[in-house]
Amino acid sequence: MLNNRQLFLQHNAQTTFFPLLLEMERAEGVFMWDVNGKRYFDLISGIAVSNVGHSNKSVIDAITKQAQSYMHLMVYGEFVQAPQVLFAKKLCELLPQNLQSVYFVSSGAEAIDGALKLAKRFTGRFKTLSCKNAYHGSSQGVLSIMGNETFKNAFRPLIPGNTIIEFGNIDDLKIIDDTFACIVMETVQGEAGIRISDAAYFKALKQSCDQNGVLLVLDEIQCGMGRTGKMFAFEHYNFVPDIVCLSKSLGGGMPLGAFISSPQIMQSLAHNPILGHITTFGGHPVCCAAGLAALEFTLSHNLIDDIKEKENFFRNLLKHPKIQEIRGVGLLMALQFDTFENNKKIIDCCIKNGLISDWFLFCDNAMRLAPPLIITHAEIAEACEIILASIDEVFS
């Protein structure tokens, strides 16, 4: 009889020829345990998803309570469903005044797709801008604005009309004019290896967009919901987008995304044509209940208050001659090594030693660190010991 690993390879679609093939049995807090009882630090939170930790009791209780009341009822936007309403209200309380209309979807890629449609519908334009080495998801529409040609070439033709600029380069903003519908940008570039810019750049970006009637769409799918030390990463830079996209940690471990804008902009999807964006499972009531519970847990436990201190603790402990640079903001960091080959060896050694990390799609010589926000200082210290010991083991 085939075991689960063999069945996985036989029946589950493969995205590489070298899957990790780790079979986990349970997860709690910042840890996962495999079927043999081996414990692993989860230092990437399922790629920035499990902000409040695995098996968070508040989230599980919310899921259980909602599932006992009702699950799927109707396509999004037709029935009044309390989990959607209450979660949208809570998000809007934390967002600026021009971001008060929430459209829940099922994933980050769908959130970006929805934002692109919204910008085109509202402005009546079709041209878009995005950034080199940007990652916004893998669906066909979102792939069209991805900033890496290697990942796009096999799937052409893509949606036309997109122009790529360099993130953080003020001179590149001169291309913005009144022929563009929107620019889509990560507030912190994730798969590029955690690249950040500064307030002067974002101020110039927003001014260029406003002067030309171009909507600024921010992708906070990976960096939002407290990970950078602010609830939303744009709060670091004193500007406000026209549309913000959320997902990953938004659902507290459940699949959920959202694009959020002003009522004036969002209402353009309700006419000419009606049902300008439709989703069956977007805003699933169980996912929204889980997301609200995760957000309330984050706020009630003041998780965001300690993020900067925890970042500094990581930085102070991770001192090693083989680490060329530590980039990041909050608990979203990249450890830069010299080559992909060495980075891969270190990551594999970390996994062997009980710590999960990975590299970045467009920066494969850097290791990703994005642990659950609940990680303690003692857990950070233990995790850093494993990383440093793994580096020494690789280069011994």
Q: Which two tokens stand for residue 306?
A: 């300690």
Tell me the domain boundaries of the chain.
16-48+304-395, 57-300
Give the tens place of pLDDT for each residue, 367-394. 999 999 999 999 999 999 999 999 999 9
pLDDT of residue 154: 94
Q: What is the mean pLDDT of residues 145-162?
A: 95
Q: Quick one: pLDDT band at residue 264, thresholds 50, 70, 90?
A: very high
Question: Which amino acid is it at 47?
Answer: I
Give the tens place of pLDDT for each residue, 5-20. 999 999 999 988 989 9
Q: Which two tokens stand for residue 10?
A: 């036989």
Q: Quick one: pLDDT band at residue 303, thresholds 50, 70, 90?
A: very high
pLDDT of residue 62: 98
**CATH-assigned architecture of domain 16-48+304-395:** Alpha-Beta Complex (3.90)
For the chain, give the percent of residues with pLDDT over 70: 100
In contact, 204 and 173? CB cutoff 8 Å: yes
For the chain, the average pLDDT equals 97
The answer to whether domain 16-48+304-395 and domain 57-300 are alike in fold is no
Q: What is the mean pLDDT of residues 215-234?
A: 98
Give the tens place of pLDDT for each residue, 306-338. 999 999 999 999 999 999 999 999 999 999 999
**CATH-assigned architecture of domain 57-300:** 3-Layer(aba) Sandwich (3.40)
pLDDT of residue 37: 98
Q: What is the mean pLDDT of residues 265-285?
A: 96
Give the tens place of pLDDT for each residue, 36-91. 999 999 999 999 999 999 999 999 999 999 999 999 999 999 999 999 999 999 99
Q: What is the mean pLDDT of residues 101-116?
A: 98
pLDDT of residue 70: 98
pLDDT of residue 151: 92
Q: What is the mean pLDDT of residues 189-198?
A: 98
Give the tens place of pLDDT for each residue, 19-36. 999 999 999 999 999 999
